[in-house]
Amino acid sequence: MTARAEVRIVGGRVVTEPGLGPVAMVWLPLHGQVVAKIPPRKGNRRLLHETVRIRSPQLNGDRWQLPRSCLVRLVTAAIDRYGFIVLWRDMSKLSRCTRACLEASGAECDCACLGAHHGQDAGGWFERVGDVVVADLGECTRTAVVYGARGSDLDAVLYQGELVSERYCVDRAGRRHWPAAAQFMCAGCVTARASVWDHCHTHGFVRAPLCNRCNTRHWRGWQPQYGRAAPTRNLDDSYYRWCPEHADVCRPCSA
């Protein structure tokens, strides 16, 4: 699988390839709220409130306490923003998925197991991209899974505004007719296959498909005026123009 060793779990710790940056992590305990540890960046609370639709996200130290019902939306949003997410999940040895979970498929699937026990079809927007690490904790089993954006077997093509004027969302039903980002070349460097959909955080519109490195470049402090980021990467932010409000001088597009 391509780029599937970029994030690994070694000895219970998350290890990333150089240059990738930190990834989001989520713990789903047996009971209680979801615990999320996401890289500390400006706009995290806004992301959780407006995109993941959590009314009052609670930050305790460096961890967010979030409702269990947000898990699928949280995973989708985190992958779009950071490229990958590691999900730690505790499950009782006697517990089973509900009937609604077992019968769910495609855009209807909103189950907390993320398809671990009933599978997902092509309607899913993420997939396992690493080995599953399992630990026996006695009364429960803890699994750690690395998720990334769903890939594509099609030859990558240049993006031509297929989602222009489309509002960004993380709901499967809302993305029902979206093409996979992996069907396109990255609109930033135009040298790698894209993996996630970038969106304007100011206006809320989908902009273009990006590879993981270009998607996180701004978050690591890169600015266009600084020149080339790496010998094999072009620096091109012209994909910003795919935002319908790009010409708004009062509220300029943001990374």
Asked whether 129 and 83 are in contact (CB, 8 A), the reply is: no
pLDDT at 95: 57
pLDDT: is 138 or 107 the higher one?
138
Decide which of 94, 123, 149 is a domain's last residue. 149
Q: Among the three residues 122, 149, 176, which one is the final residue of a domain in this structure? A: 149
Q: Is 160 found in the same domain as 100?
A: no
DSSP state of 33: -
Contact 139, 18 (CB under 8 A): no
Residues 166, 168, 170, 172, Cα dihedral to 10°:
0
Better-predicted residue by pLDDT, 226 or 158? 158
Are 158 and 214 members of one domain? yes
Residue 88 has pLDDT above 50, yes or no: yes
Residue 12 scores a pLDDT above 90: no
Which residues contact residue 204 at a Cβ distance below 8 angstroms, ignoring those fewer than 6 apart?
50, 167, 168
156 and 140 within one domain: no
pLDDT of the residue at 184: 92
- In this structure, the answer to whether residues 61 and 167 fall within a common structural domain is no
Final residue before a domain boundary, out of 115, 149, 183: 149
* Residue at 1 is within a domain: no
Domain with 209, as residue range(s), is 151-255
- According to DSSP, the β-strands at 63-66 and 58-60 are antiparallel
CA angle 150, 198, 130 (to 5 degrees): 30
Do 54 and 125 fall within a single domain?
Answer: yes
Do 11 and 136 share a domain, yes or no? yes
Q: List Cα–Cα distances, 255 to 71, 86, 170, 184, 214, in angstroms.
A: 24, 24, 18, 20, 11
What tokens appear for 97 in the block? 């998925």
115 and 155: one domain? no
pLDDT digits (tens, 9 = 90+) for 33-50: 889 999 887 888 988 998
Residues 120-137, mean pLDDT to the nearest whole number: 65
Are 157 and 141 contained in the same domain?
Answer: no
pLDDT digits (tens, 9 = 90+) for 161-214: 999 999 999 887 788 889 888 899 999 888 888 988 999 988 999 999 998 878
Q: How far is CA 236 from the centre of its chain?
A: 22
Q: Is there a single domain that holds both residue 110 and residue 165?
A: no
Whether 2 is covered by a domain: the verdict is no
Give the global pTM: 0.69
Per DSSP bridges, beta strands 24-28 and 84-92 are: parallel
Q: Do 128 and 39 sit in the same domain of this protein?
A: yes
